[in-house]
Structure 1
């Protein structure tokens, strides 16, 4: 079958020359061709049917899902190799650039498209085809202070979705990055110079107002999470190795002389809504006992708020426990003087709800 294509033919994979190559029409022939073309409708510009929206949609639907074979793509690649790009020396208009940008933005908003691109990148990375732009350039490229500030502002307030966090976590676990990073951090931290350098970098970061505000927002957001609050308080209590002081030991002996339904929990054993009670009921009742020293729980606060009273402090401190249905008994430092009265208060509190 004879090919009627000129140039590179997709059907046979050969280059065909035009029959008029190197030849020229006579003036008479040119005149006749001109007259014949004048009788035809003008197909230039907007008159071209291929530029109509409905025609373009039809063409798009016809070509949708159709892909060239690997062999054809290979032939096209060979034919175009060494030739300049059709766009060489040309530039898109502002309107075209805007349209392309809007189209790309819409595509990236599609979760399926993002997932597909992510899979392609991960596959390329695994096969060694995708090389990060900054690989092997550690320490060679340094951002200016202005660039750092701009990047910080650009990322401010942006958060990864829970789905993205989950995927990142899965990838890290799959590649064993958590263990590797932990081992590397331990080795680095043994180096005194590294620790000093890390400390200096932290100080510089903390001097940045935007960074501090960002960290503050993160802390507030994290503190809303109950598990996070309890974990932070538990770790803090364990870190300082809190033990009961003499007054707490005395109160503990008084409590146990009346009932054995309470155990000391002021060392961080039990955390309720981000708070650590001093004693907690072990008999299935939601009851806690809080011991308040006069200085730390009242006098220290009165320096900034002179009108603050014990009742105000108790109303503030019992809220986290009451949110979880706990009853709270406050024992103040000055109440330890009258032991008999103290025993009556504890006994009355212990009988509540029985």
Structure 2
């Protein structure tokens, strides 16, 4: 604070809060010379700042508008600065949940265009996602992402951006191999399918609702699990009795090329008995009811 910091007579001397307030008031609005700023910077370099002081600085800066000139100075000063892991973590925590302005998003997007990401950086991003996929928050993240975009129609400008960004884009053989290896893992595949199905906000459609009402008339234990609640060998059956019986409702259009017997044999490997009912069979409720009684 002006001559108070630079002078040597008060070095290490403990000042009262009243004395500090008087010095602060005296220095308010006072412009320091470049020499004084350089000396203050040198004295403060490497000096640990208490949490109380950090809080004071934070409160003083809250809501304060920073000029473009100051922003430029900060940008130049921070260019090439390597932050410690602790500092990165602190910044990440402070920014979490804070919405970015459209201007900030546009600047960030512009700064990343054409940027080449190093192999080390890619490895860090990949490791971060792999860790995130194993956490319980992953499913809720996929759901919230889908909820935010569900029903949104992309603008012509957005579609053009997507087209331009994907033009000529090819995946390396290494990336393709990694994706195939990940998809081959049953647990990973099940988690992704479940997250996708939940994210789509799937509810029983009309044929499924009709069949569910018939099923519950026979046994109250039957539930609709076609929203991703139950994944077996990468497949998501439609109905489950809570034990070892499954029912698949095959739509006449979507499953027109499917062989029901293959689905029955697949689930049999996991000790599930499966009944497949076709959509057109629901037009004859009595026949369906007889089929269900025989199976249940």
* Category of TM-score, reference length = shorter chain: 0.3 to 0.5
TM-score, L = length of structure 2: 0.47
TM-score, L = length of structure 1: 0.40
Comparing both chains, which one has the higher relative contact order based on Cα–Cα distances under 8 Å and sequence gaps of 6 or more?
A: 2
Greater C-alpha Rg: 1
